[in-house]
Amino acid sequence: MPRPCWSSDKTPHVDYSRKHLIIIAGPTAVGKTAYAIRTALEHRTEIISCDSRQMYREMRIGTAVPSPGELAAVPHHFIGNLSVSDYYNASRFETDALQLLDDLFTRHDTVVMCGGSGLYIQALWHGMDEFPEIDPEVRRQVLGILAQEGLPRLRRELKLADPAYYARVDLRNTQRIVRAVETFRQTGRPYSSFLTEHRQIRPFKITGLVLNRPRAILYDRIDRRVDVMMADGLQEEARQLYPYRHLNALQTVGYKELFDYFDGKCTLEQAVTNIKCHTRRYAKRQLSWFARDPEWEWIEME
């Protein structure tokens, strides 16, 4: 179970009834970073990043890490704190973020969390189910299959091992497919058998805000962001990460498409077009994720 937001002797050292976590979420390129910084400055507080890819220090350009000026304006946490070779997941984020909040709430009545990784947000807001630790050798085997035979091979294995989860999972989400397959190989139990969907009750107030824009404007912002990334050196960044393309962290839009270009599967122009197309699809999936939960308050940016 994750560590609760109080000291180990169970004596609260903070009045959590007066504490407030503001979660600023939404699709990629909607403007979360600027909005979160304005909110944090207003409350004189700090920002917890809940972007599962901005944690990797080698992936700064392709994950749109806040600029040095933005990072200097407000203290940020969980940005560039991992290497692509480090294994991390939403369950660990839940534990780490609760521990961090335990400290931040001693200095601030309000803390801001910002990002678009729905599973990480869900972990902190509602808690995660208990999952087994995966043996490193099992993980190497599954990632080896992914690298050599591709995601369709793991989808077929998941369909046989756990048809219930196969029917509900996003089959384009490499990380979730890998996690489900390695869990079955580790335990012999379907991944779906570990999903109890039991919600934790946090001792502090949580407000969830989803930023949104008209679809045409959002897609234009995505296209322009990709152009800026390419101008800033995304191709060179991806080239440096190419030897690690089999790792979970690199199963990410913006890198996978350039890896295809490096492999001679498409032209550079086509790779950039694919990045824009796949990012728009990802934004649409993010919006669908947040729309499922009525607890979110939606803010139209235009």
Rounded Cα distance, 80 and 60, in Å: 8
Q: How far apart, in Å, are the Cα atoms of 159 and each of 28, 155, 166, 190, 251?
A: 30, 6, 5, 10, 21
Q: Where are the domains of the chain?
A: 16-130+199-213+294-300, 136-194, 215-287
Rounded Cα distance, 105 and 113, in Å: 13
CATH code for the structural domain at 16-130+199-213+294-300: 3.40.50.300
Token code pair at residue 44 = 């004189």
Rounded Cα distance, 99 and 131, in Å: 20
Band (7; pLDDT cuts 50, 70, 90): very low
Q: What is the pTM of this model?
A: 0.81
For the domain made up of 215-287, give the CATH fold.
Helix Hairpins (1.10.287)
Which CATH number among 1.10.20.140, 3.40.50.200, 1.10.10.10, 1.10.472.10 corresponds to the domain 136-194? 1.10.20.140
pLDDT tens figures, 53-108: 999 999 999 999 999 999 999 999 999 999 999 988 888 999 999 999 999 999 99
What is the predicted pLDDT for the residue at 197?
Answer: 62
pLDDT tens figures, 130-176: 777 888 888 889 989 998 898 999 999 999 999 999 998 888 888 88
By the 8 A CB rule, do 35 and 70 touch? no
